Structure 1
Amino acid sequence: MAEVGQEPRRITDPKMMRALAHPARLAILEHLNTTGEATTATEFAEIVGLSPSATSYHLRELAKAGMIQEAPSRGDGRERVWQSPAASWGLDMEADADPETRAAEEALLATYLDRDQARLRAYLARAREEPPEWNDAAGLTTSTIYVTPDELKAFFEAVRAQIEPLMQRNRKDAPPEGARTVRVHFAAFPDD
Structure 2
Amino acid sequence: MTEGHPPTSSTRITDPQVMRALAHPARIEIMEHLASTGEGVTATQCATLVGLSPSATSYHLRELARYGLIEQAPSRGDARERVWRSAVQGWSLGGDLAEPEARAAERGLIDVHLARDFARIRHWFVEQQDAPRPWQDASELSNQLLLLTAEELAQVNAAVRDVLAPYRRRDRLPDPPADARTVAVHYAAFPVD
Which TM-score bucket, shorter chain as reference? over 0.9
Q: Residue type of the partner of 1:113?
A: L
User: Given the alignment, which residue of 80, 92, 104 partners 1:90?
Assistant: 92
Of 12-21 and 69-78, deviating more is: 69-78
Counterparts of 1:93-112 in structure 2, within 5 Å, are 93-96=95-98, 98-112=99-113
Q: Shift of the alpha carbon at 1:6?
A: 2.2
- Whole-angstrom distance in 1 between the partners of 2:188 and 2:102: 22
Gaps of 5+ in 2: none
**Partners of 2:5 and 2:157 in 1: CA distance:** 26
Pairing of 1:86-165 with structure 2 (within 5 A): 86-96=88-98, 98-165=99-166
Q: So what's the TM-score if we normalise by structure 2?
A: 0.95
Q: After TM superposition, give the deviation of residue 179 of structure 1 in Å.
A: 0.5
Q: Secondary structure at the match of 1:39?
A: coil
Aligned to 1:11: 13
Q: Please identify, of 112-121 and 1-10, the stretch whose mean Cα deviation from structure 2 is larger.
A: 1-10
Shift of 1:105: 0.5
Tell me the distance in 1 between the aligned counterparts of 2:190 and 2:32.
Answer: 23
Q: For the Cα contact (< 8 Å) 1:12–1:91, is it kept in 2?
A: yes
The residue type equivalent to 1:101 in the other structure is A
Cα deviation, residue 75, structure 1: 1.0
Gapped runs of 5+ residues in structure 1? none
What amino acid is the match of 1:140? L
What is the aligned partner in structure 2 of residue 27 from structure 1? 29
CA contact (8 A) 1:28 1:48 kept: yes
Q: CA deviation at 1:93?
A: 4.4
Q: Pick which of 2-11 and 122-131 moved more.
A: 2-11
Hey, which bits of structure 1, 4+ residues long, moved more than 2 A?
A: 1-7, 93-96
Structure 2 matches for 1:150-189, cutoff 5 A?
Answer: 150-189=151-190
Distance 1:55 1:17 in 2: 18
In the aligned structure 1, how far is the partner of 2:5 from the partner of 2:132? 38
Deviations 1:35-84 (A, max 9, x none): 01111100000000001011011111111222211111111211000111
Contact 1:40 1:80 (8 Å CA) reproduced: yes
C-alpha displacement of 1:183: 0.4
% identical aligned pairs = 51
1:42 alignment counterpart: 44
Distance in 2 between the 1:179 and 1:66 partners? 31
Aligned length, in residue pairs: 191
Whole-angstrom CA distance in 1 between matches of 2:103 and 2:80: 40
Q: Summarize deviations over 1:6-52 as a string: whole Å, max 9, x none.
A: 23111111111011000001111111101011111000000000010
Tell me the distance in 2 between the aligned counterparts of 1:7 and 1:182: 20
